[in-house]
Amino acid sequence: MKSPFDPQEAQNIVSRYSNIPPELALRVYTSRLIGGDPSLVLHGGGNTSVKLRVKNVAGEEQDVLYIKGSGLDLADIEPGGFVGLELEPLRKLKNLPALSDEEMENQLQIHKIRSSSPDPSVEVLLHAFLPHRYIDHTHADFILALTNQKKWKGLLEEALGAKAAILPYDPPGLSLAKVVSEAFGKDPAIEAIVVAQHGIFTFGEDARTAYERMIEYVERAEAFLKAKAPRRIIGIPPTGSPPPKELISAVARLNQAIRGTCAFRSPGGLRRKFFAEVRTADDLVEASLSPSAARWCSSGVLTPDHVIRTKNKWVFSPEIPPDDSGLKKIVKEKIDAYVQDYDQGFAEQNRFKGREREKLDPYPRVFLVAGAGIIALGFTRREARIAADIAEHTLRVKLLADEVGEYAPISESHAWDMEYWLPQQKKLTRIAPPRLQGHVAVITGAGGAIGLGIADCLMAEGAAVALSDIDEAGLRKVRAALVKKYGEGQMESFLFDVTDYGAVEKAFQEISWRLGGIDVLVPNAGVAHVARVEDLDPKKFDQVIAVNLKGTFNIIKAAIPVFRRQGTGGSVVVISSKNVFDPGAAFGAYSASKAGAHQISKIAALELAEIGVRVNLVNPDAVFGDEEVPSKLWELIGPDRMKSRGLDPQGLKEYYRQRNLLKVSVTAEHVGQAVVFLASEASSATTGATLPVDGGIPAAFPR
């Protein structure tokens, strides 16, 4: 590990943020250097601060502590991510013998210099009590590999030298802040303070000194560990070769069973589901096969900050049974045992500490699977990835720690304190989740206007979307439009042919590997051909039937084993057509294929109700799309319709608008909103229904 501090880049940051004090701009720069190194901090971990003398609204000078906002990521922090607090009132708290969580929260809020600032870091008092202008705090992997040891003190003293103070674990808050301040008071020459099972603090009068001291002491720990464990991989190893298809198939099945077993009803009645994130780097797989694997799963977090992301313990799975009944049995047994242990621990902690907290959900977030690696869960894909990243680092640190000594985490009591500590809880979102959060939706034929509209509406409600098509260019356009609005993290893209059942099965395995399973299925792939019956080429007829009818059948059939393994029901929303009830001349192949797909979908509604899967249909009409993402159907049939009616493109759209009862232009968003309704709890008592989205075509009313 070497310092990447660049004086020119530091000056560029100062120039870029010329509207703020240069000391704060430099604080932003070195904070980003720290956040950009996952071996130092992960996803909102760590904190940094700077003390400045600034004028208040009355023109009076005052000392202000600017500290990172709670839960914000140092990697991309902006100046507004630092919370300014009046320093002197905070320092007076040092004279108190104790401070409750609620009163500490109150003090932090009332001493913010801007009410709109984010919540301050949980380490505010420690930063306030130390005299240094700049303070950096990380959970560096190499430091934690030494702090989380039974003989932590001796190892740290040997590794870091005399200018690092080594302190026992103390929960963040007033007590730890006072202990750290006292350590510096006893020896003002120290350059770093390490707290067992917590992390390292470095400091200085300028940003570069504080940062490079962090790098220097982490380098010392790294060198010490390399000397003690020369064969152990240090840092993040390459992921190795792509996982074999047999592993993808097995883990896909396991993901489905896990997320189905962990799904639960919130107090408000909303079904909460998880996304899954899989990590199969070679060293993780090797560790999963170790005799110590189960011990590592039960031996706790590296640092208390992680407990809100991964909980304190993991689940170890020694196998992935090849049959579904064995798979569901072992998954249920493992998760039931975990939940029982969690509930018992929660009750004991409340009783022991004489307090009542509102219990969080008791479900595990991390699984170590023999021969596979790590599976992590999260209510959002971001949360699942955070849990997986932390689990990866945790397992590697435990491997390293065991090479040089004996791993020893914080006590379970402290872990419970941190999971239910108010400042930690505020890092997690408390707003009501979107109604499809945690749901995985698969949309076929997603490379056109209707596919885009459906995906947009589902993602707006929190679903992660698997977009599929055989049209790579169209799929790329739709993905680009969605990325612009939602970013990369909420979708995956797949190229496969719905007429090939084997390809559909393989795609569903890949979707379950990447996302966890399938909850909402939207068969939307379709093709059309314009020809009167006497002119209809049998091969063209077969092609339309293959995509529109057989493709719908293949998609529904391949999803049934997924729904069964999950055991949480599901929703199939078939994009049908107004032509099922109101066909048009020269459109026989399309109308017949859609009528067949409609019928097989109703049969599926009859058969899948026993496993809680609802099958409904949407009948759109005249959805044109726009120039960026047009409707493939209207690209095909539009020219013929315009020619027969003597209309230009705009005139054709107006013709269809005037044709319906409501005189509205039907959009892809209208179709998407219909899909959201039928996919959500709002339609939980509805199956086998056909919902027209056509502005009102009397001849197409469902009968």
Q: Can you list the domains of the chain with their CATH numbers?
A: 7-228 (3.40.225.10), 245-425 (3.40.225.10), 440-622+666-693 (3.40.50.720)
pLDDT value of position 236: 58
How far is Cα 619 from Cα 671, in angstroms, rounded to an integer?
Answer: 9
pLDDT value of position 242: 83
Tokens 């009750």 belong to residue: 347
How far is Cα 133 from Cα 209, in angstroms, rounded to an integer?
Answer: 11
590 is catalytic: yes
- Tokens for 629, please give them: 């993402």
How far is Cα 184 from Cα 136, in angstroms, rounded to an integer?
Answer: 15
pLDDT value of position 426: 64
How far is Cα 297 from Cα 441, in angstroms, rounded to an integer?
Answer: 31
Q: Is 233 exposed, middle or buried (0-12, 13-18, 19+ CB in 10 A)?
A: middle
Q: Residue 53's beta-bridge partner residues?
A: 63
Tokens 């098509």 belong to residue: 469
pLDDT value of position 237: 61
Question: Of 66, 342, 407, 590, which one is the catalytic site residue?
Answer: 590
pLDDT value of position 373: 97
Tokens 């009528």 belong to residue: 595
How far is Cα 80 from Cα 72, in angstroms, rounded to an integer?
Answer: 11
Q: Is 655 exposed, middle or buried (0-12, 13-18, 19+ CB in 10 A)?
A: middle
How far is Cα 378 from Cα 281, in angstroms, rounded to an integer?
Answer: 20
Reported as type and span, the H/E element at residue 419 is helix 412-419
* Angle, vertex CA 65, rays to CA 205 and CA 162, nearest 5: 40
pTM, full prediction: 0.94
How far is Cα 692 from Cα 700, in angstroms, rounded to an integer?
Answer: 8
Task: Judge contact between 370 and 362, C-beta under 8 A.
Answer: no
Q: Which parts of the chain have pLDDT scores under 50? A: none
Q: Compute CA distances 355 → 170, 173, 413, whole Å.
A: 20, 19, 14
Q: Using N-to-C axis directions, what is the helix angle for 207-228 and 152-160, rounded to 10°? A: 120
17 SS3 class: coil
pLDDT value of position 356: 72
Task: Judge contact between 448 and 478, C-beta under 8 A.
Answer: yes
Of residues 409, 365, 402, 368, the one with CA closest to residue 387: 365
Task: Judge contact between 128 and 91, C-beta under 8 A.
Answer: yes
pLDDT value of position 207: 98
How far is Cα 425 from Cα 157, in angstroms, rounded to an integer?
Answer: 34
